[in-house]
Structure 1
């Protein structure tokens, strides 16, 4: 790597904004916030919206999709399609 063109790669704490779970990893991201970690050291803190702790794919939570409402809205807007030849 060329010197002085890359941002510093250092330990950073990420916090899930929804669940509050935190994890320590390494990153080049910067932050004005900081947090004292379990080891007593202070690290930059980055709050993110979604992590594997809150993402529906990883948690197994499923969303309810209102398909009946979508079909009714479509039929109101464009009408119903009748099969031909019957």
Structure 2
């Protein structure tokens, strides 16, 4: 294995899924500005996610559309004219 290829600054980070509020603790090198107090009473850096395995339709089995700023409506209008 090549030396110096992988970062060595791994630390514990809390990832929070903003769509459903689920959080989990993992190790990462992601840069963050916010922190959060975890269940063990310690403070960890916080990385906010728009979607994770707890809210993604592939993992949940539910077909949920996350409409951000009416993108679905814009798509339908654009391609509706071509029918």
1:79 aligned residue: none
The answer to whether structure 1 residue 57 and structure 2 residue 58 are counterparts is yes
RMSD: 2.6
Deviations 1:34-69 (A, max 9, x none): 0000111100000011101000001111269xxxxx
Deviation at residue 6 of structure 1 after TM alignment:
3.5
CA distance in 1 between counterparts of 2:31 and 2:64 reads 33
- Structure 2: state its 5+ residue gaps: 66-79
CA distance in 1 between counterparts of 2:64 and 2:56 reads 11
TM-score, normalised via structure 2 length: 0.68
Match of 2:41, SS? coil
CA distance in 2 between counterparts of 1:58 and 1:26 reads 22
Rg (Cα) greater in structure: 1
CA distance in 2 between counterparts of 1:48 and 1:63 reads 17
Q: How many correspondences in the alignment?
A: 69
Match of 1:26, SS? strand
TM-score, normalised via structure 1 length: 0.66
Runs of 4+ in 1 over 2 A off after TM superposition: 72-75
